[in-house]
Chain A
């Protein structure tokens, strides 16, 4: 099947018609090239968005304080809604709430210092659960715990960029840093896949923060994870929470500006569905392009068979079986398709690699790559497609009657 002679035959026919062979192969190569580029770009988008989401857990709800925009029960609009301990307690009771934490941010005078090093960093006052919501990874020591909250301890977990800035190689665990002048003991260092901003901050227990910064009964944003709750359930939960807050704070439940709920579950789901659809779309286009290429190859093979009718007749008169004629034609077809397609594949993947390496750090687009399985799958499709493209012409060739062929002028 793969003897040297067949290859020699195919090589000489291709050689005789370099331009024609090239043009045929080109359409297939182009189809594959386009498919790879499109797929890669789709993945690039998907990876980029996933990266944005990676900083936080996917299954989270964030309840933010806002300002009323609708007058309600005698209250004028423009009123700032401030969440308190009671809100935290109540929301905690909602079914399907997994981890929940308040997040009080300290804005003024946020200087931290250790010995002679100092700098300004964000100070977040939270419950221990916040570590789960933000997906913090403790690399040294630990994160905040319930005892810290209950005893209003002056302890802090610092981000690794804070550690770098203040401790310059020294082990921070157990040491005291001054937070706006007040000494806090460092109990842990954390990392956050979300990015530099997320690790340029420190966390202190909410109760401590309320006390030290005189923000009693303030809990700030309330963030929670919803476990395995479905998208629909998460939307339900958001509504329940809104209604509960509306009742306690006397604002219209329909007022979207009073309290703003960011539903990560819903948003994540929307993006993922979008990408699944984009990918499907790309495959459809890709397959369509490849089909066009295949038809092109098939077309050319038909012409080749017609041209070689006499030659086929001669071979048959010399003892060529129909099988050998079929394999001759099909091998040429498969060879052209596979080679051209492989070229398109290599060029496509190569281009993606170059783009990926030189890509500036943009939001929502990163690592446009095609994984190896897709590339291999595409190659396999090519070979099969080449076989299909050659099949009909090959059968036609085999059916040529030597009589007719030899009479062919």
Chain B
């Protein structure tokens, strides 16, 4: 479903150019639950941005569902995002003056769905995520976990083929983080490809494949089952 071929990306600020992605090759199949790991500066956020069509890349090719995503203009990119990709962020990124229901319904607004239908659907998803009673509350009245669930509901409502999550548990306690991962697993079981960027091992351990980024290229890809075996071998040795 996702194919990256030799992706390069640099950031220029003033006279400095920072070459962040130095030739990334990656393939992710439909319905996978994958995590992307790496230390700060490794380029994982950048990779996520490229995957999410939030940013252009300088060299290489990116295929999403067989279609080439390259140098898209803003308008087309927006359309694509709206249709195929759902985002979950570390800092939740909810709109503070809209209530829970309106926040969840927002992607549908850009899909030009009527108000009534939007809100109905939003209520449905809130219900699925156990947030029905909070429908008319503002984000700042919700706990961290609830906010993230809200963000997830928002990501799901446009029925994307892929969910990109950037450190989704970064602002949550460990108990809530685990609950969050269970939620992602559930979503994945529904057939949605899930990509999680994280630097926490426990989180990555809950995914099927762990892609390690170092200095702008893929260092290793470890399938979860193998990793356990490898660790086991290490400790025994």
Task: Count A interface residues, CB 8 Å.
Answer: 25
Contacts of B165 in A (CB 8 A): none
Q: By CB atoms of chain A within 10 A, which of B52, B109, B111, B115 has the most? A: B109
Q: Is A316 an interface residue (CB 8 A)?
A: yes
Are B109 and A5 within 8 A (Cβ)?
A: yes
Q: Which of A299-330 contact B (CB under 8 A)?
A: 310-311, 313-324
Q: B54 contacts A318, CB within 8 Å?
A: no
Please name all residues of chain A whose beta carbon is closer than 8 Å to the beta carbon of B91 when the two chains form the complex. Answer: 409
Contact A320 B93, beta carbon cutoff 8 Å:
no
CA distance A321 to B75 in the complex (A): 5
List of B residues within 8 angstroms of A313 by Cβ: 93
Taken together as a complex, chains A and B put the C-alpha atoms of A314 and B111 apart, in Å, by 15
Chain A residues closer than 8 Å to B32, beta-carbon distance = none
Q: Which residues of A contact B98 (CB under 8 A)?
A: 12
Interface pairs (25), CB distance under 8 Å: A4-B115, A5-B115, A311-B95, A314-B95, A315-B106, A315-B110, A317-B81, A318-B82, A318-B87, A318-B107, A318-B154, A318-B158, A319-B82, A319-B107, A321-B74, A321-B75, A321-B110, A322-B75, A322-B78, A398-B74, A401-B54, A403-B49, A403-B54, A403-B55, A406-B89
Q: Is the CB of A319 within 8 A of B111?
A: yes
Whether the Cβ atoms of B55 and A320 lie closer than 8 Å is no
Contacts of B83 in A (CB 8 A): 319
CB < 8 Å: which of A4, A16, A314, A319 contacts B93? Answer: A314
Say how far B206's CB is from chain A's closest CB, in angstroms: 24
Given A12-B98, A321-B75, 20 new contacts (CB under 8 A): A12-B97, A13-B97, A16-B97, A315-B106, A317-B52, A317-B54, A317-B93, A318-B81, A318-B106, A318-B107, A318-B110, A318-B158, A319-B107, A319-B158, A320-B110, A322-B74, A322-B75, A401-B55, A403-B49, A403-B55
**B79 CB-CB contact with A under 8 Å:** yes
Q: Complex Cα distance A13/B97, Å?
A: 8
Q: How far is the CB of B69 from chain A (nearest CB, A)?
A: 15
Contact of A323 (CB < 8 Å), options: B75, B109, B158: B75
Interface readout for B131-154 with A: 1 if CB under 8 Å, 0 if not? 000000000000000000000001
**Nearest B residue to A313, CB-CB:** B93
Residue A390, interface by CB 8 Å:
no
> CB-CB contacts of A371-406 with B at 8 A, as 1s and 0s?
000000000000000000000000000100111001
Residues of B within 8 A of A5 (CB): 109, 115
A12 to B55 CA separation, bound complex (whole angstroms): 30
* Nearest-neighbor residue (CB-CB) of B166 within chain A: A406
Taking CB atoms, residues of chain A closer than 8 Å to B109 are: 5
Question: Nearest Cβ in chain B — how far from A316, in angstroms?
Answer: 6
B152-194 Cβ-contact flags toward A at 8 Å (1 or 0): 0010001000000000000000000000000000000000000
